[in-house]
Amino acid sequence: MGRSSVRGEGARQRAPHASDHGLEEGPPHEGGEPSADSGHHRRRHGGGGGRAPRPRRRILRWSATILSVLILGTAGAGYLYYQHLNNNLETDDLNLGDHRAPEPTPNAAGQTPLNILLIGSDARDSKENQKLGGAKETFGGTPLADVQMLLHLSADRTNMSVISMPRDTLLSIPKCTDPDDGKVYEASTQRTMTNQSLGRGGPGCTVATWEKLTDIRINHFMEVDFSGVVSMADAIGGVPVCVDANIHSRDSEGHGSGLKLEKGTTYVKGEQALQWLRTRYGFDGGTDISRAKAQHMYMNALVRELRENANLGSPNKLRKLAETATSALKVDDGLGSVKALFDLSNELKKVSPERTTMTTMPFEYVGARVIPKPGDAEQLFRLVRDDISLDGKGKKKPAKEKVSDDPAADDGEIAVQVQNGTRTDVEPPVGGRASTVTQILAGKGFTKAAADTTTVLAQEKTVIKFPSADLEGDAQRIAKSLGMKLSSVKKSTDVSGVTLVVGADWREGNAPPKSKQDDKTPDSAEALNGSDKKACMHVDPNFTWK
């Protein structure tokens, strides 16, 4: 099914753009890499042209999402206005890949968590966005998903977590098909910056990329346009932010957002809020990671203001915010109405700031880019998959392992292929590992085990995959014989039969190592609690003033 918009659509040609060429704060050639993708992309009917700034949109787009959800949820008196607001909403396909992460297991009360991917496109697709973002040479260029935040609402609605992914994370983007023209974007053959996923058919490819990386089932996405964000920041009367020294984000070469604040707490709104959210030069470290921290602080303060600010009681202000928010949103079909957003808002409002946790995906540098940090990133993703709160409260009881109803065949009749997945980002694969483990299985009676000596993968944890329900029992039987937990058995359309992928955790020895499961949020995720009003950005001494 193709993407749609109740406002109407029109195709436009992509032009080359600069991925990091001064689209955030500085002069046109501030560093970075342009995208090599081309093709066409749909836009709203009547749109101007151009693309909006990347980091500026990064949190402001997210803010627009939160605003739209919370505001529409409190504007119950304006239900008759819904149809007009519905006409503002634009929809697109949820997942453009050929693989979906498994559905989560319901808790004892039959509830399931809700996962929403928040995407900030830097497309300069209107005159307003072009004016705010500059970089005229990128007019109509391929959009980048420079804001990517996974919002996880727990099954029992007691806590919420947000994981930000740095825009320059290098990973594998899966095969995606554009629903409009059927163009197929083959899976990347080498590690590619995650923000390029949006240009491969739309936000559904960004969703597919997240599901492939995390194995977390994503229920919805919200892509937020930059237009109207500044006025929305004005409408709520400002958001408190803090710096530990005077700051002026501008150097002699013109780098910087222009943000100028005195030490302490300041309520920022309009253009000043925009500057805060796009500031990289001036915060300690001067990196995209520092900017993400500032954005998390802003987001937490924004939500607190929305809950506490009595000035939002004006129907006119609520109506204005709802108008601009719905005009800025692009969502999947499941959220394609104000009623759906209203229902979602009621769910989100159940979580207090004290039970909200903001994190950044643990990473490590590879040159100027980053990759998911081995161990820590998967730990964070697993906590979300298992619906374990990141604030350390309300520990989830271990779920009882579910034994398949499918009876296993005799060991000697179970065909299993063994693949070598011991390669990591820092270590080469262990030579002959698939053959070695095949011999171990044969010694246990699985005489139809066969080694795939042509495939080498990077698999952090050893896993057993099966393609269909009639092979689940066989896969679980192999897991049991190796002393593995049944949770390591996964249904996957990537395999045609039972397949054991020997992970980096089993580089040697006759059995996968048994390790005690740790449900602690990794320190490298730099968690920030939503109720923390003392958080303050450290200022780079080179960007301070007296």
E-state strands within 62-158: 90-92, 114-121, 145-153
> What mean pLDDT is predicted for residues 158-186?
94
> What mean pLDDT is predicted for residues 201-223?
96
Q: What gap in Å lies between CA 290 and CA 280, rounded to an integer?
A: 7
Among 24-28, 60-64, 423-427, which range has the highest average pLDDT?
423-427
H helices of 260-314, where?
270-278, 288-308
Q: What does the pLDDT read at residue 64?
A: 54
Q: What gap in Å lies between CA 474 and CA 224, rounded to an integer?
A: 45
Comparing 28-42, 428-442, 503-517, which segment has the lowest mean pLDDT? 28-42
Residue 61: alpha-carbon gap to chain centroid: 13
Q: What gap in Å lies between CA 455 and CA 90, rounded to an integer?
A: 42
396, pLDDT greater than 80: no
What's phi and psi for 523, nearest 5 deg? -60, -30
Q: List the domains of the chain with CATH numbers.
A: 55-95+103-123+148-174+217-391+527-546 (3.40.630.190), 411-506 (3.30.70.2390)
Q: What does the pLDDT read at residue 145?
A: 87
Q: How far apart are the first and last CA of the chain?
A: 58
Comparing 131-135, 148-152, 377-381, 396-400, which segment has the lowest mean pLDDT? 131-135
How wide is the angle at C-alpha 419 spanned by C-alphas 415 and 422, nearest 5°?
150
Taken in order 57, 58, 61, 66, is the CA torsion positive or negative?
negative
Spatial neighbors of 62 by CB under 8 A, at least 6 apart, are: 118, 120, 147, 149, 224, 295, 299
> What mean pLDDT is predicted for residues 397-425?
87
pTM higher than the cut 0.85: no
Q: What is the pLDDT of residues 259-272, one digit of tens each?
A: 999 999 999 987 78
Taken in order 104, 520, 295, 194, is the CA torsion positive or negative?
negative
Q: 504, 247 in Cβ contact below 8 A?
A: no
307, pLDDT greater than 80: no
Q: How confident is the model at residue 29 (pLDDT cuts 50, 70, 90)?
A: very low
Q: What does the pLDDT read at residue 181?
A: 92
Alpha carbon of 476 to those of 405, 438, 494, 507: distances in Å?
Answer: 11, 17, 18, 22
Q: 489, 475 in Cβ contact below 8 A?
A: yes
Mean pLDDT of the chain: 81
Q: Identify the three-state secondary structure at position 261.
A: strand
The percent of residues in the chain predicted with pLDDT above 70, rounded, is 76
Q: What is the pLDDT of residues 220-242, one digit of tens each?
A: 999 875 555 566 667 677 889 99
